[in-house]
């Protein structure tokens, strides 16, 4: 261990309170920045990966974004209904490889009931090579029975299990006064997918259409159609439904629509970036203030060291080490705070919208932020170190005695 390092380490220990304040501030600044930045990125990626393996959604005339959020993320209200004929028409379109109708309108204790066909679970791959799996000994519901397939998160949160029976409630929000008379039997629990599919209860399409208390006319309507398209047929369908037609909206392509959703939060990104810069400035100033205050105390110590033979590089090196040790501890603290925040955000997002953000990952943003903190330490040390390097030894000792 070099003398410079020892001097720096000892100086940090001698000024523990100041040192901890500096480390804490830098950790908080760096951690918040990493956390906010990475959460934004992770949410974006997680949303894109949680689209359930669909290219497009056909729904009532209205906002494409509302359609995507409603159909794939089970958020927002449905923009309206679509006639059954619309489903039949698009299902038979040569550019469509998969089409699954869905209907919304009921809930159980606040968890949405999504009516669809059993083929969604039998054929569709929600992720390349991955179909929905029903936990053994369960099975997929029958299209003509009052049976339910429960998403993994719902089962976990409200304890629904195989063989349980429940009454659905009308509407998308839970209201005890709106209980339907129909009774549904849980015939299967889905394996977790880390997508919003875990957050809903799946029942046969006819169940929603013909639920007791629903308008009998609703039996000919659905909320929308989940689609997978062949090749470039999206362009053709886009023209047909969005540009020429006026009865339905095709939300396509899903990633671009999600991207436009996140673009709405560009101001947040800019605010986070500005905040990060401000925090970096504060962090740098704190290191500088810490070094300046300890330098004032250590001025004589440095002069003594010079008198007993320490070169300029030894004493200036100790200032740089001191700053770098604070920065290094700041980087470690930032990473810990980042991991903690990521976990918190991940849990909140998972419980709110069912999107699994996955494990916090270390990539270039984290690497560059960490290097930035170290660079900040180096820059902050530069001024005091340079001043010390250039200072006259005589000034620090009794000069003319």
Residue 398 binds another protein, judged by CB under 8 A: yes
Residue 399 binds another protein, judged by CB under 8 A: yes
Give least dist CB 14 to another protein, A: 5
CA distances for 201 relative to 12, 188, 277, 401, angstroms: 58, 10, 45, 89
Residue 77 binds another protein, judged by CB under 8 A: no
What residues contact residue 392 under an 8 Å CB cut-off, 6+ apart?
none
Q: Which is nearer to another protein, 189 or 305 (CB)?
A: 305
Options 110, 171, 311, 358; binder of another protein; rule CB under 8 A: 311
Residue 401 binds another protein, judged by CB under 8 A: yes
What is the DSSP track for 194-260?
Answer: SSGGGGSEEEEHHHHHT-TTS-GGGGGEESEEEEEE-TTHHHHHIIIIIII-SSEEEE--HHHHHHH
Residue 3 binds another protein, judged by CB under 8 A: yes
Residue 314 binds another protein, judged by CB under 8 A: yes
Residue 397 binds another protein, judged by CB under 8 A: yes
Q: Which two tokens stand for residue 274?
A: 């500005």
Coil vs helix vs strand at 106: strand
Give least dist CB 398 to another protein, A: 4
**Cis preceding-peptide flag for 162 (omega within 30 of 0):** no
Closest to 286 (Cα-Cα) out of 13, 38, 35, 30:
30
Closest to 218 (Cα-Cα) out of 227, 236, 205, 229:
205
Residue 310 binds another protein, judged by CB under 8 A: yes
Options 13, 94, 137, 159; binder of another protein; rule CB under 8 A: 13
Residue 307 binds another protein, judged by CB under 8 A: yes
d(CA 127, CA 120): 13
Options 179, 214, 240, 312; binder of another protein; rule CB under 8 A: 312
Give least dist CB 3 to another protein, A: 5
Options 93, 135, 206, 306; binder of another protein; rule CB under 8 A: 306
d(CA 373, CA 366): 11
d(CA 152, CA 3): 59
Instruction: Give the binding-site size for another protein (rule: CB under 8 A).
Output: 27
What residues contact residue 137 under an 8 Å CB cut-off, 6+ apart?
162
Stretch that binds another protein, among 55-63, 167-175, 266-274, 389-397 (CB under 8 A): 389-397
Give least dist CB 307 to another protein, A: 5
Residue 293 binds another protein, judged by CB under 8 A: no
Where do contacts with another protein occur on this chain (CB under 8 A)?
Answer: 3, 6-7, 10-11, 13-14, 300-301, 304-312, 314, 393-395, 397-401
């Amino acid at each position: 261990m070099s003398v410079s390092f020892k001097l720096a380490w000892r100086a940090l220990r001698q000024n523990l309170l100041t040192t901890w304040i500096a480390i804490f501030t830098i950790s908080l600044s760096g951690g918040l920045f990493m956390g906010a930045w990475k959460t934004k990125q992770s949410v974006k990626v997680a949303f894109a990966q949680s689209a359930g393996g669909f290219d497009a959604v056909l729904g009532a005339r209205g906002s494409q974004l509302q359609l995507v959020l409603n159909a794939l993320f089970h958020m927002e209200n449905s923009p309206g209904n679509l006639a059954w004929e619309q489903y039949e028409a698009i299902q038979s379109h040569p550019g469509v490889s998969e089409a699954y109708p869905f209907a919304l309108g009921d809930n159980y204790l606040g968890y949405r009931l999504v009516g669809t066909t059993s083929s969604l679970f039998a054929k569709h791959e929600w992720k390349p090579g991955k179909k929905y799996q029903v936990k053994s000994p369960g099975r997929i519901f029958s299209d003509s029975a009052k049976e339910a397939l429960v998403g993994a998160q719902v089962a976990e949160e409200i304890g629904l299990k195989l063989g349980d029976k429940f009454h659905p409630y009308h509407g998308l929000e839970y209201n005890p006064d709106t209980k339907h008379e129909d009774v549904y039997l849980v015939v299967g629990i889905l394996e977790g997918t880390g997508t919003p599919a875990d957050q809903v209860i799946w029942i046969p399409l006819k169940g929603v259409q013909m639920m007791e208390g629903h308008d009998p006319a609703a039996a000919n309507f659905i909320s929308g159609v989940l689609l997978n398209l062949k090749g470039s047929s999206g362009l053709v369908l886009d023209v047909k439904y969005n540009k020429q037609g006026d009865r339905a909206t095709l939300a396509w392509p899903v990633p671009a629509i999600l991207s436009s959703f996140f673009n709405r939060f560009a101001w947040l990104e800019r605010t986070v970036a500005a905040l990060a810069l401000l925090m970096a400035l504060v962090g740098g100033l704190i290191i500088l203030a810490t070094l300046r205050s300890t330098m004032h105390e250590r001025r004589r110590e440095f002069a003594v060291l010079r008198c007993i033979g320490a070169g300029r590089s030894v004493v200036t090196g100790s200032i740089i080490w001191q700053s770098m040790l604070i920065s290094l501890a700041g980087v470690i603290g930032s990473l810990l705070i980042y991991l903690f925040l990521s976990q918190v955000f991940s849990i909140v997002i998972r419980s709110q919208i069912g999107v699994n953000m996955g494990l916090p990952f270390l990539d270039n943003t984290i690497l560059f932020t960490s290097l930035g903190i170290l660079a900040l330490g180096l820059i902050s040390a530069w001024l005091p170190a340079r001043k010390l390097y250039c200072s006259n030894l005589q000034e620090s000792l009794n000069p003319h005695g």
